[in-house]
């Protein structure tokens, strides 16, 4: 199905010069002189490389249908991440390169979304919020407050985030996986 630049939306997948891309962001520009155009930032689905591209307004592209499938993360073993379909109980092992940055937010038994473009797996998206235990951080001192700054903390999955000074080793934190931001203690 062909779509034009007027139908662009963040996250939509299209084919440009025979390669599949997802649109990260776009902006319609109508200069005072000359024709309108669309500035886009797109990610190559296969390589993950981000490109800035400009198209004339009204230009047409083939759309790729994106699908998401909920899978339960079971465990990681020697560079492979194992997932299970919660409906059919089929298991799938993915290489660390395919899972990418999502690996630092995945804990056993979490439900992740596997994203497919047609039949091709393009990525793994962790839950939006996760609850993880702090395994290592500098101790907090009496008098530390929320406004007192931040310090690094290592979580049970190996991810390192900035947390308020009052957070201690052993605390369970709610973290936003989109930007790795501390939300609250649980």
Q: What is the CATH number of the domain that holds 12?
A: 2.30.30.30
Tell me which of 125, 154, 176 is where a domain ends: 125
Taking the whole predicted model, whether its pTM rises above 0.75 is answered as no
Range of the domain at 38: 2-64
pLDDT in tens, 125-159: 899 899 999 999 888 666 555 566 788 999 998 89
Percent above pLDDT 70 for the chain: 95
* Mean of pLDDT values over 29-41: 91
| 60 lies in the same domain as 8 | yes
For the chain, the domain total comes to 3
Q: Residue 117: is its pLDDT beyond 90?
A: no
End-of-domain residue from the set 64, 92, 117? 64
Q: Clarify whether residues 82 and 121 are in a common domain.
A: yes
- Angstrom distance (rounded) from CA 59 to CA 66: 21
**Do residues 59 and 72 both lie within one domain?**
no
Are 33 and 71 within one domain? no
Place of tokens 């009052």: 166
Q: How many Å separate Cα 3 from the centre of its chain?
A: 25
Cα distance between residue 5 and residue 15, in whole Å: 13
Q: Is the pLDDT of residue 104 over 80?
A: yes
């Amino acid at each position: 199905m062909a779509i034009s630049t007027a139908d662009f939306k963040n996250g939509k997948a299209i084919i440009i010069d025979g390669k599949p891309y997802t649109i990260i962001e776009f902006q319609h520009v109508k200069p005072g002189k000359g024709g309108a155009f669309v500035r886009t930032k797109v990610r190559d689905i296969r390589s993950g490389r981000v490109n800035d591209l400009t198209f004339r307004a009204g230009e047409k592209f083939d759309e790729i249908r994106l699908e998401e499938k909920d899978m339960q993360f079971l465990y990681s073993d020697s560079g492979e991440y194992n997932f299970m379909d919660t409906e059919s109980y089929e298991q799938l092992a993915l290489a660390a390169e395919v899972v990418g940055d999502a690996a630092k937010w995945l804990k056993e038994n979490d439900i992740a979304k596997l994203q497919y473009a047609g039949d091709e797996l393009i990525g793994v998206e962790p839950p939006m919020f996760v609850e993880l235990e702090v395994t290592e951080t500098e101790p907090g001192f009496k008098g530390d407050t929320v406004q007192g700054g931040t310090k690094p903390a290592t979580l049970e999955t190996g991810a390192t985030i900035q947390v308020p000074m009052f957070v201690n080793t052993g605390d369970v934190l709610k973290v936003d996986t989109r930007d790795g931001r501390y939300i609250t203690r649980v």
